[in-house]
Structure 1
């Protein structure tokens, strides 16, 4: 008999009244038959939510709690796994299992009430999104958030960050608290150079790395430098990120679209735009998820050698599941590529830390632009991040994230197959989001609005297009547990059934 399953001899003992634990006054006899692990997980989750198990509390060892309850150790292990997946607890090796975060308050089942002054879902998802559309979408209340671009924030390595911070402070001199190098703390520039060499195939000297406040600041600095060099247009992928296009346009750059197919950007059509610079996501194209193919890479390299500049946004290439790693395009042509990256998808967007590795002729102007803009990023977080990268904690965290994100991706694929069988899924092999497209018959902004009315936030694919195309949605899965992903997709399917153009089963 499998002792790890609910039921079995230990379970019968619990029914007989032998089992009970002083810890939280748990009594396995109260559990529904066949649901021990779920019952235990809910009891623990409730204790974390109401403060009986505050952040930092240590849970009993699985073997000890199982013995007290008279259940198999597998029951306790499964309950702990569910809470770990939800981000409430974390294993600390020899230090045991520790509460790291309280669960988010339960959201109302009814559609959320719109705050005074906030746009209604139909107004938010207009065909021509306004300048503040992303801020408005973030502020919109919803039960589930499937917007793309956010990792599992509950997995932030708090303990590793605190260890690194203490180590940095222990060694920090008084002089280190003064103004830092505007180009970035030397320790972080060394660490980023090492990280890129190990994980992305990019070989760069630390002096070539410029630390910035995310890719958004990088673009804000880059466009004026390019205009000074006579480059006023930056071609962009079609479809491609609305946010990137907005940043470029806000600084005065034209953004001619270049279509993307299953092999990546069409270099022949890039030639036709006449643009001397192009913004690309070669390792995992946003939003379609395609990888720039070998022949296209060769064509793009020839275009760049003839005087073109490639701006490479390597935004989430580390998150891959079903395909081998793809080296950054800069590893092929360092002198014609301005490489951009950040830790927003590795740790958290709130840290606002990224980097530029520019070609030689842009290093001086960009360093001057960074100095004139803000005198450099805050130094202490840079030193902590450097410690994380050099200690191996960043690699360990990435391995953990891959396992967690894979489970959430699989949950979304399964839910889409069950609830939206007419949806075509794109970009599943890597990243933090899926793109789904439909044959037509409706406007995807209407579907996004209907989904928000059901309590689910997502982004219509048309937001990320400049040219007409099939309707679709861009669905982030990394920030939600597998159960939440499945529930959100079920609500999305309900919203879809209310629109025209859905084939009947």
Structure 2
């Protein structure tokens, strides 16, 4: 359909009116570049005019550069407007960077589209009335599957009754902060360096926030105890941005702290299931003190941006309040599809494939850093979708990130993640979730050229 007003009382030919209407809609952005238009036969029928009138209008618009016509593909809006009609109607766009090495960047190539469609089709044929009902905590089938899967793969001690399905991490942690605020918590802690948005979300929930230093062994529990906070958000495996893994001693100390202050640990298990080292990685912190740990996970690192699903395994006081809080859960069909994706073994198989892919990318990134960035050192354990690179003394990481952006490389400087204290060293956080292995050496090579400019200045 292409609604066009034709005024037969005007002396202006109908062909000219059709041309003018389509041209105006292209110029004002109503008709987007690449959009397919109705066939000349269909548009003529819709307008009640001769097909030859529409054919002539289309041909003249093609000649003018507004449309393009391809055999088998129909008539479409041209990708670029004629030069005389550019300007306000076609605002200048900043060129997209070729290499996205930001810490949370992922690619749709991570998404198992064929397997997901197979699961979707299976659920669509057998859904019955379950797809029309709404469950505040998520559909029972998915909560059952998540409880079993998390227990088997991550050692999480939970039941379906304690599981809540959510949409994504930001919304999940916002809900958790608000629930803890209702439970009397007004001061929370986050890792520093850490993801800045975590602190912003907590502040919006009315909480006071303290940044707690992180070193190679994870969060500094002694500093946490001195802060006076009663809840803390930690990433025990592949901490963002340092890549640190919480040491066994720190894990025990953190759980003792939670019991001593009658507090809570929010465990974001972002990359625990993506461990690809020689031995198996650490299990969830939650299994050692389930009454004090709120366990949070998402599909982001294994599905990319295509499906946004999250979950919370919470102790009874938190789980009970989550049931009375709008969680923004995904539609039931998506939840049921994910439940089948787990139960059929497709999730296990997909994670094995993702581990292999990410292991190869991390190795390529390490080799590229050693080759192109002399004096830099990649740290962190073999897991997840990012690595931390410590830069040589005196390199300005913020300036380096800006110069890299000019060379079509998006990357986060270490200072982007500082909360409340400044690290004496500079570094870059290199994500490899969105860049193919074969392109990583080229991306790091461009980063090296940018570092050369920083050193020269």
TM-score bracket for the superposition, by shorter chain length? 0.7 to 0.9
Name the stretch that deviates more: 420-429 or 247-256.
Answer: 247-256
The within-5 A match list for 1:24-63 is none
Q: Does residue 266 of structure 1 match 2:186? A: no
* 1:222 positional shift: 1.7
Report the CA distance between 1:428 and its aligned residue: 4.3
Q: Deviations over 1:75-105 (max 9, x none)?
A: xxxxxxxxxxxxxxxxxxxxxxxxxxxxxxx
For residues 372-451 of structure 1, what are the structure 2 equivalents within 5 Å? Answer: 374=328, 376-451=329-404
Partner secondary structure for residue 273 of structure 2: coil
Report the Cα distance in structure 2 between the residues aligned to 1:215 and 1:140, rounded to whole angstroms: 29
Q: 1:145 maps to what in 2?
A: 100
Q: Distance in 2 between matches of 1:220 and 1:243?
A: 10
Q: Whole-Å Cα distance in 2 between the matches of residues 201 and 457 of structure 1?
A: 36
> Using the alignment, how far apart are the partners of 1:116 and 1:254 within structure 2?
41
Counterparts of 1:460 and 1:262, CA distance in 2: 18
Aligned position for 1:359: 315
Instruction: Tell me if structure 2 keeps the 8 A contact 1:280–1:310.
Output: yes
Query: Residue 255 of structure 1: SS of its match in structure 2?
Result: strand
- Given that 2:103 and 2:241 are in contact with CA atoms closer than 8 Å, whether structure 1 keeps it comes out as no
User: Which residue of structure 2 lines up, in the alignment, with residue 490 of structure 1?
Assistant: 445
Residue 232 of structure 1: which of 169, 186, 191 is its match?
Answer: 186
Whether contact under 8 Å (1:442, 1:501) holds in the other structure is: no
Instruction: Choose the corresponding residue for 1:247, options 201, 216, 241.
Output: 201
Change (3 A) 1:155 1:349: closer
Q: What displacement does 1:152 show?
A: 4.7
Q: Secondary structure at the match of 1:256?
A: strand
Secondary structure class of the residue paired with 1:368: coil
Q: 456, 461, 480: which is aligned to 2:435?
A: 480
Residue 84 of structure 1 corresponds to none
* TM alignment of 1:265-304, pairs within 5 A: 265-304=219-258
**Using the alignment, how far apart are the partners of 1:410 and 1:439 within structure 2?**
21
* C-alpha distance after superposition, 1:272-302 (max 9, x if no partner): 0000001001122111111111111111111
Report the CA distance shift for 1:140/1:364 in structure 2 as closer, same or farther (over 3 A). Answer: farther
Matching residue of 2:142: 188
The question of 1:336 aligning with 2:292 is answered yes
Distance 1:150 1:263 in 2: 25
Aligned position for 2:272: 317
Pairs aligned (count): 364
The answer to whether the 8 A contact 1:440-1:501 is kept is no
Separation in 1, partners of 2:236, 2:267: 7
> Which of the pair has more CA radius of gyration?
2
Counterparts of 2:369 and 2:131, CA distance in 1: 51
CA gap 1:289/1:263 in 2 versus in 1, 3 angstroms? same
1:110-166 per-residue CA deviation (whole Å, 9 max, x = no partner) reads xxxxx9687xxxxxxxxxxxxxxxxxxxx8611111112244531321111111111
CA distance in 1: counterparts of 2:195 and 2:352, whole angstroms: 27
Q: What are the residue-to-residue correspondences of 1:40-119 with 2, within 5 Å?
A: none
Change in CA separation of 1:198 and 1:151 when aligned onto 2, cut-off 3 Å: farther
- Could you tell which deviates more after superposition, 224-233 or 179-188? 224-233
Cα distance in structure 1, aligned partners of 2:338 and 2:406: 40
Check whether the contact 2:244–2:381 (CA below 8 A) recurs between aligned residues: no
Question: Which SS does the other structure have where 1:279 is aligned?
Answer: strand
SS at match of 1:190: helix
Q: Which moved more, 1:243-252 or 1:440-449?
A: 243-252
Matched ranges for 1:1-12 at <5 A: none
For residues 318-357 of structure 1, the C-alpha deviation after alignment (integer angstroms, 9 at most, x for no partner) is 1122242210100110000011001111213332210011
Aligned twin of 2:303: 347
Secondary structure at the residue paired with 1:346? helix
Tell me the secondary structure at the aligned position of residue 265 of structure 2. strand
Offset of residue 240 of structure 1: 1.1
For residue 455 of structure 1, what is the aligned residue in structure 2?
Answer: 408
How far apart in 2 are the matches of 1:188 and 1:140? 41
Gaps of 5+ in 2: 1-89
Q: 2:124 aligns with which of 169, 189, 195?
A: 169
- Compared CA separation, residues 341 and 324, structure 1 to 2 (3 A): same
- 1:349 alignment partner, SS class: coil
